Amino acid sequence: MRRIVPVAILVPLLVGGCGGDSDGGSARAQQPRLTQKQFVEQGNQVCIDSDRRIFRIGGLGSNPTPWRRTRDAAQTAIDEMARLRPPAAKQKRFDSMLASARTLQRAISDVYEGLVGNKYERAQAAQARAVRADTEIKRKAHGLGLTFCEQLLTNWPA
């Protein structure tokens, strides 16, 4: 049996996929946009809260349960981040970051499903996709000024 090697995935940045202004006349589209300062404060807070949830889950290895919990925590972070309305000039970058976050969340889900089904090669391939998506998220968060979201790891007390 092949084992999944634990990976340091920064899921605090599991911040969604689609978002942005494509929702037409919805209530969200009619909410005022955040200033850059508000966006950074609120976006970083989403990442801080998510990071704390992920930290409490513990290490990721060949046990599928932490991967399922991580997937579920990721969805929570995605939902929270997707509610933000960045400054108009940052919307396209924000949407791109959200898309990368959804890719990461799907990859984590694929790791979980691979482990549950004893398909370890599939789980390892999904884990590699997760690492690539995580790298993209960090790069995009940096470009948005979300300094906490671009960090590698944190050390929260559980």
What pLDDT, in 10s, does the model give residues 55-78? 899 888 899 999 999 999 999 999
4 located within any domain: no
5 located within any domain: no
Per-residue model confidence (pLDDT) at position 10: 44
Per-residue model confidence (pLDDT) at position 27: 60
HSE at residue 111, side-chain half, CA atoms within 13 A, is: 32
Per-residue model confidence (pLDDT) at position 31: 82
| pLDDT < 50 regions, the chain | 1-3, 5-11, 13-25, 155-158
Per-residue model confidence (pLDDT) at position 30: 73
151 located within any domain: no
44 located within any domain: yes
Q: At what angle do helices 91-116 and 120-144 cross, to 10 degrees?
A: 160
Rounded to two decimals, what is the model's pTM?
Answer: 0.80
94 located within any domain: yes
Q: What does the CA dihedral 29, 92, 7, 76 come to, rounded to 10 degrees?
A: 0
Q: Please give the Cα distance from 4 to 130 (Å, whole number).
A: 13
26 located within any domain: no
Per-residue model confidence (pLDDT) at position 130: 94
Number of domains in the chain: 1
Q: Structural domain of residue 49, as residue ranges?
A: 11-16+31-144
155 located within any domain: no
140 located within any domain: yes
